[in-house]
Chains A and B, each alone.
Chain A
Amino acid sequence: MVDVLIIGSGIIGSSLARELSKTSASVLVLEKGNDVSVGTTKANSGIVHAGFDAKPGTRKAFFNVRGAKMYPVLAKELDFPFKKNGAFVLSFSKDGHDTLVDLLDRAEKNGVSGCEIISGDEIRKLEPNVSKEVVEGLYAKESGIVSPYEMCIAMAENAASNGVKFEFLKKVTNIEKQSNHFKVICEDCSSYEAKVVVNAAGCHADEINNMVSSRKYEIVARKGEYVLLDKEFSWVSSRTLFQLPTKMGKGILVSPTCHGNIIVGPTALDVDDKDLTWTTPSGLKEAWDKALLTVPNLPRGGIITQFSGLRAHTKEDDFVVGFAEDVKGFYNLLGIESPGLASSPAIAEFAANEIKEYLNLGVNPKFNPIRKGIKHISHMSSEELNEAIKENRQFGHVICRCEVVSEAEIREAIRRVPGAKDLDGVKRRVRAGMGRCQMGFCTPKIMEILAEELGESIEDVSKRGKGSEITIGRIKE
């Protein structure tokens, strides 16, 4: 029996796991995927919203503003990419003025500093590629960008090194409430007992909740499609460029990523299937066409990949954070859509405190808040490179030429806990394959390293777990 069992290892589950590792609780995380950060967390805009957009008084507003303020310290402790790059909300006509004033008013009510309305010309002085059609906009200096999957991996690694256990390929199919605890049953027939169960199952959190609570929820997966540009085109913008928000969300943005690519998207379309992150011709076209309004000279030839993610939208339109009223010990973290990423540290802190109180937990005296990221040769000075190669010659063997990633980094990504088990896992940890050739050259080499490190046959190496094996076997001999 563990004290706390968390279902889901996205940014919410992993952040909570790390918060709880500060306590005396024994914590187990069950993840249905092959790795952490494989759902909504891996495919979103990566924006740490300042908090001017959420309606004052909502949980979204509360957690967003608190969460955003926690980023600088967290990024330092956990060594993940984060940057305060500032953002604009752009208005294309004078009619938008009232909405901008409303946003500025929300900013004030939510306690967000550093916001002002400035003219189109002033915006273009800072971001020359912004369309001439933009007449004015809200400038939010506190807005930031983060690499969401790297943050999630950092959270999970730090949690694991402080005692949290992670288990993968564990799809929860039933939860039985016993007198003083829960029995959580998985698809593979394994079961686990826990005093507290936390529901951080992203788009599937409604199903998990509905297994035990009579207060039913319904999550609608709202798909967002993105395209990503090569780093060569980082000149497009150094700040995040939003358009005026609509009722479906914050609209199409154009933003740099922490690694210098340009991200364009997301669209917003409610879909039936909560796992199907396919892109569509119409979605990709919509994302691109709308982004052209923001930056008319957006270079189409610069696109290196497309992807889509799913927002966990509820009709209540606010986060659900807290113990279910009718089920003692069952804690919901549900409906965490934008600004969920920005809010995640605050949500985790809040939830951990409530669980701590409920279970009467003490502190973990051995908790170490520091997690060091994998050393990247692309960030090293000449001296550091020589030093690193002297220590481990594999730092001198470049595997991914586009992002300049060495064999040493890839092996480290696989050896960490929780470590990479497939090509996507390697990619998200050390960026091998994230570049302009999109794994064209390095696929066979990374397959070899994965097979060797995991002790599996090269035919079993997959893109993202079982069923996605890269090859179908040996050629005929």
Chain B
Amino acid sequence: MEKKVRLLIVGGGPAGLAAAVEAYDKGERDILILERENKLGGILNQCIHNGFGLHTFNEELTGPEYAQRFIDEVEKRKIAYLLNTTVIEVSDKKCVKALNEGGLLEIQAEAIILSCGCRERPRGAINIAGSRGAGVFSAGTAQKLVNIDGLMPGKEVVILGSGDIGLIMARRMTFEGAKVKAVVELMPYSSGLNRNIVQCLNDFNIPLLFSHTVVEIKGDNRVESVIIAEVDERLNPKMETAQEIKCDTLLLSVGLLPENELARGANVDISRITRGAVVDDRLMTNIDGIFECGNVLHVHDLVDFVSLEAREAGAKAVEYINSKDKNKKYESIAIETDGKVRYVVPELILKNDDSNPLTLKLRVSNVFKKVRLEVSVDNEVIYSRVKQVVAPGEMQTIDLKSEDVLKLRKANSIKVYLRSME
């Protein structure tokens, strides 16, 4: 079956839904969302805890509730979507192949928004030695088993990594009667949100061990214990500090990776740092008409920011579709960072005359205290904010006003960096 659509959205999670709604509201009517699961909402469907939507709706919603708000908006607008449909290929000519039980769909799109989210780093990626039986799960898999399938992964749990999913699962497993013996974090700080450390660990007296890692998994057919050890400044385990913790389950919350296999197939340039696409300030990739937003672009902490970014992508995709000269190439300038700022999204600023305000999103590479987050254009500081503390776990945003955005567009050099105040 071959068909045409003006705007194709790959992924019906929070990013795809918000992008679709915004594109519709900007006047586009020919939109199709492709979703591989059997319902819209993406990973939010398994996030049954609350805390979503504080920024967007000024109230605390559960994941499914937050998703439902957007699903309702999609339904209200009668935006088309297909469920149980997996995209297997995206070409740089914006031809998409997708599979469902009806057959192979071949769709020619005018613009594509990739909003297919991220995946968890598996055990293999962090090279933990030991046995290879049952009982080792990524935290998200365990979350799906408990929250969706009603199955219990284990009863004595160690969690490696203090990312948000790990913290949330510490509490969730405790609620279900499991004993969470420790959360072990390689770094000297958590990559999760502070409120999650308080609400998910402290409130339940679950110990959080910084600068520790799991060095070995024991047990034949199923995990029986893990060996943990403190790490030195270079993150190498100090084996003299090794201790054994009896447990039947190890949950891993050791980072998320944007899922860019489709993008790679379309020759989209991928950032080595974010592992998402390199995009300009329209959130467009190097391939004309292919946009990215949400966790496939860079991993977010809060879904509210995903929705905001996705709206932006939806609006820009519509502008692109309606532009008279789609192939017009703009020169662009890449934002430079200082290493303390690990990355900035978008990375490229177009040298055109678009004067809309712009939000830059960034992460830092370590915990820094008493710093100024600054943007300079040709060595003139155009933005400066004092930050008492910044940490890799919390995404920072820089809201730039129209006149500053115009400065960026004329710049020969743009730098985003941290300046020490001491």
Task: Give the shortest distance, in Å, between A388 (CB) and chain B (any CB).
Answer: 9
Query: A interface, how many residues as a size bin?
Result: 35 or more
Q: How many residues of B contact A (CB 8 A)?
A: 52
A-B contact pairs, 10 of them (CB 8 A): A232-B264, A301-B125, A304-B122, A389-B103, A390-B103, A440-B119, A447-B149, A465-B221, A472-B155, A472-B248
Asked if A438 is at the interface of the complex by the 8 Å CB criterion, the answer is yes
Q: Report yes or no: A468 in contact with B133, Cβ–Cβ below 8 A.
A: yes
Using Cβ atoms and an 8 Å threshold, which residues of chain A touch B203?
none
Q: Report yes or no: A284 in contact with B101, Cβ–Cβ below 8 A.
A: no
Using Cβ atoms and an 8 Å threshold, which residues of chain B touch A455?
none
Given contacts A276-B220, A278-B131, A471-B145, contact A389 B101 (CB under 8 A): yes
Using Cβ atoms and an 8 Å threshold, which residues of chain A touch B294?
none
Q: Report yes or no: B133 in contact with A464, Cβ–Cβ below 8 A.
A: yes
| 8 Å CB interface, A415-462 against B | 436-441, 443-444, 447-448, 458-459, 462
Q: Report yes or no: B248 in contact with A377, Cβ–Cβ below 8 A.
A: no
| 8 Å CB interface, A372-399 against B | 377, 382, 385-386, 389-390, 393-394, 396-398
Q: Per-position contact with A for B143-177: 1 when CB-CB < 8 Å, else 0?
A: 01110111111110000000000000000000011
Report Cα–Cα, A275/B133, bound state, in Å: 13
Q: Give B residues with C-beta under 8 Å from A.
A: 36, 84, 86, 88, 97, 99-104, 106, 119-120, 122-125, 127, 129-134, 137-138, 140-141, 144-146, 148-155, 176-177, 215-216, 218, 220-222, 237, 248, 261, 264
Task: Give the shortest distance, in Å, between A473 (CB) and chain B (any CB).
Answer: 6
Residue of B nearest to A304 (CB): B124
Using Cβ atoms and an 8 Å threshold, which residues of chain B touch A465?
221
Report Cα–Cα, A446/B237, bound state, in Å: 36
Report Cα–Cα, A307/B124, bound state, in Å: 9
Residue of A nearest to B218 (CB): A278
Task: Give the shortest distance, in Å, between B316 (CB) and chain A (any CB).
Answer: 27
Task: Give the shortest distance, in Å, between B225 (CB) and chain A (any CB).
Answer: 13
Task: Give the shortest distance, in Å, between A403 (CB) and chain B (any CB).
Answer: 11
Q: Give A residues with C-beta under 8 Å from B.
A: 227-228, 232, 275-281, 283-284, 301, 303-307, 377, 382, 385-386, 389-390, 393-394, 396-398, 401-402, 404, 406, 436-441, 443-444, 447-448, 458-459, 462-476
Given contacts A398-B86, A443-B141, A444-B145, contact A459 B130 (CB under 8 A): no
Report Cα–Cα, A277/B127, bound state, in Å: 15
Choose from B86, B102, B145, B150 the contact partner of A401 (Cβ within 8 Å): B86
Task: Give the shortest distance, in Å, between B155 (CB) and chain A (any CB).
Answer: 6
Task: Give the shortest distance, in Å, between B230 (CB) and chain A (any CB).
Answer: 15
Using Cβ atoms and an 8 Å threshold, which residues of chain B touch A284?
127, 129
Choose from B104, B120, B134, B221 the contact partner of A437 (Cβ within 8 Å): B120
Q: Report yes or no: A280 in contact with B129, Cβ–Cβ below 8 A.
A: yes
Report Cα–Cα, A447/B145, bound state, in Å: 10
Given contacts A386-B104, A438-B122, contact A303 B127 (CB under 8 A): yes
Q: Report yes or no: A476 in contact with B125, Cβ–Cβ below 8 A.
A: no
Given contacts A303-B124, A474-B152, A475-B176, contact A279 B130 (CB under 8 A): yes
Q: Report yes or no: B146 in contact with A475, Cβ–Cβ below 8 A.
A: yes
Choose from B129, B140, B146 the contact partner of A278 (Cβ within 8 Å): B129
Q: Report yes or no: A397 in contact with B134, Cβ–Cβ below 8 A.
A: no
Report Cα–Cα, A393/B218, bound state, in Å: 42
Residue in A227, A402, A444 whose Cβ sees the most chain B Cβ within 10 Å: A444
Q: Report yes or no: A281 in contact with B151, Cβ–Cβ below 8 A.
A: no
Choose from B122, B130, B222 the contact partner of A305 (Cβ within 8 Å): B122
Report Cα–Cα, A232/B176, bound state, in Å: 39
Using Cβ atoms and an 8 Å threshold, which residues of chain A touch B132?
277-279, 307
Report Cα–Cα, A474/B155, bound state, in Å: 12
Report Cα–Cα, A463/B104, bound state, in Å: 32
Given contacts A440-B138, A472-B155, A473-B151, contact A283 B100 (CB under 8 A): no
Q: Report yes or no: B222 in contact with A467, Cβ–Cβ below 8 A.
A: yes
Q: Report yes or no: B177 in contact with A476, Cβ–Cβ below 8 A.
A: yes
Choose from A386, A440, A443 the contact partner of B103 (Cβ within 8 Å): A386
Q: Report yes or no: A444 in contact with B86, Cβ–Cβ below 8 A.
A: no
Residue of B nearest to A467 (CB): B221
Using Cβ atoms and an 8 Å threshold, which residues of chain B touch A402?
261
Choose from B97, B222, B261 the contact partner of A382 (Cβ within 8 Å): B97
Q: Report yes or no: B131 in contact with A468, Cβ–Cβ below 8 A.
A: no
Task: Give the shortest distance, in Å, between B235 (CB) and chain A (any CB).
Answer: 13
Choose from A283, A306, A474, A476 the contact partner of B124 (Cβ within 8 Å): A306
Using Cβ atoms and an 8 Å threshold, which residues of chain A touch B152?
471-475
Report Cα–Cα, A96/B36, bound state, in Å: 54
Using Cβ atoms and an 8 Å threshold, which residues of chain B touch A397?
84, 99-101
Report Cα–Cα, A247/B133, bound state, in Å: 32
Choose from A304, A459, A469 the contact partner of B125 (Cβ within 8 Å): A304
Q: Report yes or no: B124 in contact with A398, Cβ–Cβ below 8 A.
A: no
Using Cβ atoms and an 8 Å threshold, which residues of chain B touch A471?
145, 151-154
Choose from A396, A438, A447 the contact partner of B99 (Cβ within 8 Å): A396
Residue of A nearest to B144 (CB): A444
Task: Give the shortest distance, in Å, between B44 (CB) and chain A (any CB).
Answer: 15
Using Cβ atoms and an 8 Å threshold, which residues of chain A touch B127?
227, 284, 303, 306
Report Cα–Cα, A443/B139, bound state, in Å: 13
A-B pairs with lowest CB-CB distance, top 9: A305-B124, A467-B221, A438-B122, A398-B86, A393-B101, A468-B221, A471-B151, A396-B101, A468-B134
Task: Give the shortest distance, in Å, between A343 (CB) and chain B (any CB).
Answer: 27
Given contacts A305-B122, A386-B104, A475-B176, contact A377 B130 (CB under 8 A): no
Residue of B nearest to A225 (CB): B129
Using Cβ atoms and an 8 Å threshold, which residues of chain B touch A232?
261, 264
Q: Report yes or no: B216 in contact with A441, Cβ–Cβ below 8 A.
A: no
Q: Report yes or no: A475 in contact with B103, Cβ–Cβ below 8 A.
A: no
Report Cα–Cα, A464/B149, bound state, in Å: 21
Q: Report yes or no: B134 in contact with A394, Cβ–Cβ below 8 A.
A: no
Additional A-B contacts beyond A438-B124, A464-B134, A470-B134 (10; CB < 8 A): A277-B132, A278-B218, A280-B129, A307-B132, A397-B84, A398-B88, A401-B86, A439-B141, A465-B221, A475-B150
